[in-house]
Amino acid sequence: MIFSNLGLQKLLHHKDANFPFQELTVKEDEKKSIDSVTEFLFVNVFEKDKDLSFVNFKLSCDVVLLKTSKALEGKYIDYVTNVCKKVILQVGPLVSDASEIDEEGSEILKWLSTKNKNSTMYISFGSEYFLSKEEIEEIAKGLELCDVNFIWVIRFPVGETVNIEEALPEGFLERVKERGKIVEKWAPQANILAHESTGGFMSHCGWSSINESVYFGVPVIGMPMRTDQFINVKMLGEARVCVEVVRNENEVFKREEIAKAIIKVILDNYNGEEFRSRARELSEKMKIEEEQAIDETAEQLWRLCLKNK
């Protein structure tokens, strides 16, 4: 998201009444996660420029290239353009089309093809965040509270040997064997999101993942874990393509709230279709803009090269 490149502590503080996008402001516990990264950058990276707001933009002379699109972030891009006084070029979502896959990936898609249209939840928390045992258990129990098909990618840190059956609640794999598929380490994410049986994506809301989800017209169930993910999920909610799972008073995701979000996106015909319709609408706009954005960026860079040769 475009605000991931800014001084988040300053622009997204929940008490800043002058910030025009109050829907993106973060709660205190979320702000602490963002502040920890901001403080690290303040001490270790941007020592010569103590004003972290727009620091990445200050380092750019004429133009700023961002992995984003007007379809998803139009009003935010316009705001930042006016504030930082730089030309911001969108290079698009940079999403790879669904491609040929290996035998393991093919088996996953064969299984997915046996399910009804929009009936299956894809669950993945990226390659850098590893769920705790408590988080795995709450997601598993949430899945048991609602009758939904799912593909769940579970990863563990490199070098850590974990028996998947032991990581999950006892008997879980047997109870969900007809409607659920657990995948360790890797799955063909683009192919899964592009498949007509996929009706939702439970995600940590990392920027690449949500770009893929919207690009393929799949609504998101947001479970942000750290830093800019808290802002990304709010932006998706504002765009009406995401349901954020509510944390309890201890800031923990619980099974009941996970199940509520799944039901709203996958099993509730009215709300689910509204989310999918909006996601498809954004997908179409994003794809139409994509080629134009690349052409415009190439033209601007060519002009910049001629200017400075």
Over the stretch 181-192, which tens digit does the pLDDT of each residue have?
Answer: 999 878 999 999
Mean pLDDT of 13-25: 68
The number of CA neighbours under 13 Å toward the Cβ of 261 is 27
69: helix, coil or strand?
coil
Q: Supply 11's token pair.
A: 């622009």
Q: Has residue 4 got a pLDDT over 80?
A: no
> Which helix (DSSP H) or strand (DSSP E) does residue 120 occupy?
strand 120-124
Q: What is the amino acid identity at position 217?
A: G
Residue 14 has a pLDDT of: 46
Say how far residue 306 (Cα) sits from the centre of its chain: 37
Residue 49 has a pLDDT of: 54
Residue 34 has a pLDDT of: 73
pLDDT tens-digit map of 259-300: 999 999 999 988 999 999 999 999 999 998 888 888 888 888
Q: Has residue 241 got a pLDDT over 70?
A: yes
> What percent of the chain clears pLDDT 90, i.e. is strictly above it?
47
Report residue 158's pLDDT band, with 50, 70 and 90 as the boundaries: confident
Is the pTM higher than 0.75? The answer reads yes
| Inter-residue contact 202 to 224 (CB < 8 Å) | no
Q: Has residue 257 got a pLDDT over 80?
A: yes
> What percent of the chain clears pLDDT 70, i.e. is strictly above it?
84
Q: Which parts of 17-102 fold into alpha helices (H)?
A: 28-44, 55-58, 70-84
Residue 120 pairs in a beta bridge with 149, 198
Q: For tokens 């009941």, what's the residue? A: 256
Computed on alpha carbons and rounded to an integer, the radius of gyration of the chain in Å comes to 20
- Sign of the alpha-carbon dihedral angle for 157, 160, 164, 170: negative
Secondary structure tally for the chain: helices H, strands E: 13, 8
Report residue 10's pLDDT band, with 50, 70 and 90 as the boundaries: very low
Residue 6 has a pLDDT of: 44
Q: Supply 1's token pair.
A: 């998201």
Q: Has residue 249 got a pLDDT over 50?
A: yes
Residue 251 pairs in a beta bridge with none
Residue 150 has a pLDDT of: 98
Residue 83 has a pLDDT of: 78
Domain boundaries along the sequence of the chain:
2-94+290-308, 103-283
Mean pLDDT of 210-223: 95
Among the residue ranges 9-18, 26-35, 64-73, the one predicted with the least confidence is: 9-18
| Inter-residue contact 280 to 193 (CB < 8 Å) | no
Q: For tokens 């420029």, what's the residue? A: 49
Return the higher-pLDDT residue of 5 and 57. Answer: 57
Closest by alpha carbon to 92, among 300, 303, 301, 295? 295
Maximum CA pair distance of the chain?
67
| Right CATH for 103-283 from 3.40.50.2000, 3.30.1490.100, 3.30.70.370, 3.10.129.10 | 3.40.50.2000
Going from the C-alpha of 293 to that of each of 72, 153, 306, the distances in angstroms are 13, 33, 20
On average, the pLDDT of the chain sits at 85
- Cα 189 from Cα 124, distance rounded (Å): 9
